C-alpha cells in the first residue's frame, strides 16, 4: 500500500522571517496529519525552516542542487552543503529548471545519482509542454524523461525515488489536468518503471501530481488509483491553502 506524499515547493518566495512564520503554522496544523509531508523553501531559508520543523512530521527539502560535490562552481549549492543544513530530500528536474534554465536529462541524471549517493531522497519531476501534449507526445516525453533521469540508478535506490508528474502547461496557469488525464499519465509512468525495474517496484513507487493543485481539486486527484500525492506550488505558500490539501479527505 502506497502512502500519500504531499510536498510544498515554495519556489523563490519568502524571506527568512516569512518562511519561519509559515513553517511554524504548518508544524502546528499538520502534527496530526496522516500522510507524508515535505516543504522546500529557498536555499536562504533552509536553516531557519529546518530548525522549526525538526522533530515534526515534515521533511526538509531543497529545490535543486549542483551536479558536483564541491569546487569552482560559482552560484551553485552542493549536496554536502544541503546535508549540512539537514536537508533530507531534493527536487530535481523541475520544469522551471528544464525549460527556463535549460537543464537537460543528462545533467538531471548526474544530480539524481549524486543525491542518491549521499543518501538523499529525490523527487524527480517529469512532464510535457502544451505543444507536446497537443501533438500526442505526452507519454513519449514522460517516458524519455523518466528513463534518462533514472539511467544508472539501481533498483535498491528506488526506495529513495519519488516521481512528480507536472504537465508544464498546468503550472502556475490555473489550468489543471483532469484527474482522468493525470491518472492516465501516472499509470503509463508506472508501466515504464515496471519495464525498467519490474512490476513489484512499479507498484511501490510514489508518483505525485504537480500542476495547479488546490484545496478544491486535491481530493478528486488523490482519489485516482495511480496518483499518490502532490507537489504543490502556489497553494503551498499559505497554511489556509496548503493544509486542506495536505489533509484531504
Q: Where are the domains of the chain?
A: 5-246
Strand segments (E) across 130-205: 161-165
Supply 122's cell numbers.
Answer: 529525490
Q: Is the pTM of this model over 0.85?
A: yes
pLDDT at 216 over 80: yes
The mean predicted confidence, pLDDT, of the chain is: 96
Instruction: Count each helix (H run) and each strand (E run) in the chain, helices first.
Output: 11, 8
- Percent of the chain at pLDDT above 70? 100
pLDDT at residue 96, as a whole number:
95
Q: Do residues 158 and 205 touch, judged by C-beta distance below 8 A?
A: yes
The residues that are catalytic are 94, 166
d(CA 240, CA 213): 14
Q: Which CATH number fits domain 5-246: 3.75.10.10, 1.20.810.10, 3.90.1010.10, 3.20.20.70?
A: 3.20.20.70
Q: What is the pLDDT of residues 74-102, one digit of tens each?
A: 999 999 999 999 999 999 999 999 999 99
Q: What is the pLDDT of residues 143-197, one digit of tens each?
A: 999 999 999 999 999 999 999 999 998 877 777 789 999 999 999 999 999 999 9
Q: What is the pLDDT of residues 50-77, one digit of tens each?
A: 999 999 999 999 999 999 999 999 999 9
User: Span 44-54, mean pLDDT?
Assistant: 98
Q: Helices (DSSP H) in 93-178: which residue ranges?
A: 95-99, 105-117, 130-134, 138-149
pLDDT at 129 over 80: yes
Tell me the pLDDT band of 127, cut-offs 50, 70 and 90: very high
Amino acid at each position: 500500500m502506497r502512502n500519500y506524499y504531499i510536498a510544498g515547493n515554495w519556489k523563490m518566495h519568502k524571506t527568512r522571517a516569512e518562511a519561519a512564520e509559515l513553517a511554524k503554522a504548518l508544524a502546528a496544523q499538520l502534527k496530526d496529519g496522516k500522510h507524508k509531508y515535505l516543504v522546500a523553501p529557498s536555499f536562504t531559508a533552509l536553516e531557519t525552516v529546518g530548525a522549526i520543523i525538526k522533530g515534526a512530521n515534515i521533511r526538509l527539502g531543497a529545490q535543486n542542487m549542483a551536479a558536483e560535490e564541491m569546487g569552482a562552481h560559482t552560484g551553485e549549492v552542493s549536496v554536502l552543503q544541503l546535508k549540512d543544513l539537514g536537508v533530507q530530500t531534493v527536487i530535481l528536474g523541475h520544469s522551471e529548471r528544464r525549460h527556463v534554465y535549460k537543464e537537460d536529462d543528462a545533467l538531471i541524471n548526474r544530480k539524481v545519482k549524486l543525491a542518491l549517493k549521499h543518501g538523499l531522497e529525490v523527487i524527480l519531476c517529469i512532464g510535457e509542454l502544451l505543444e507536446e501534449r497537443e501533438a500526442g507526445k505526452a507519454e513519449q516525453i514522460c517516458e524519455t524523461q523518466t528513463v534518462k533521469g533514472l539511467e544508472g540508478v539501481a533498483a535498491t535506490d528506488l526506495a529513495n525515488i519519488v516521481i512528480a508528474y507536472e504537465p508544464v502547461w498546468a503550472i502556475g496557469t490555473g489550468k489543471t489536468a483532469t484527474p482522468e488525464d493525470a491518472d492516465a499519465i501516472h499509470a503509463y509512468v508506472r508501466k515504464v518503471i515496471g519495464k525498467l525495474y519490474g512490476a513489484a517496484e512499479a507498484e511501490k513507487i510514489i508518483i505525485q501530481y504537480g500542476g495547479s493543485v488546490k484545496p478544491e481539486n486535491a481530493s478528486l486527484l488523490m482519489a485516482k488509483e495511480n496518483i499518490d500525492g502532490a507537489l504543490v506550488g502556489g497553494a503551498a505558500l499559505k497554511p489556509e491553502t496548503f493544509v486542506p490539501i495536505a489533509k484531504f479527505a
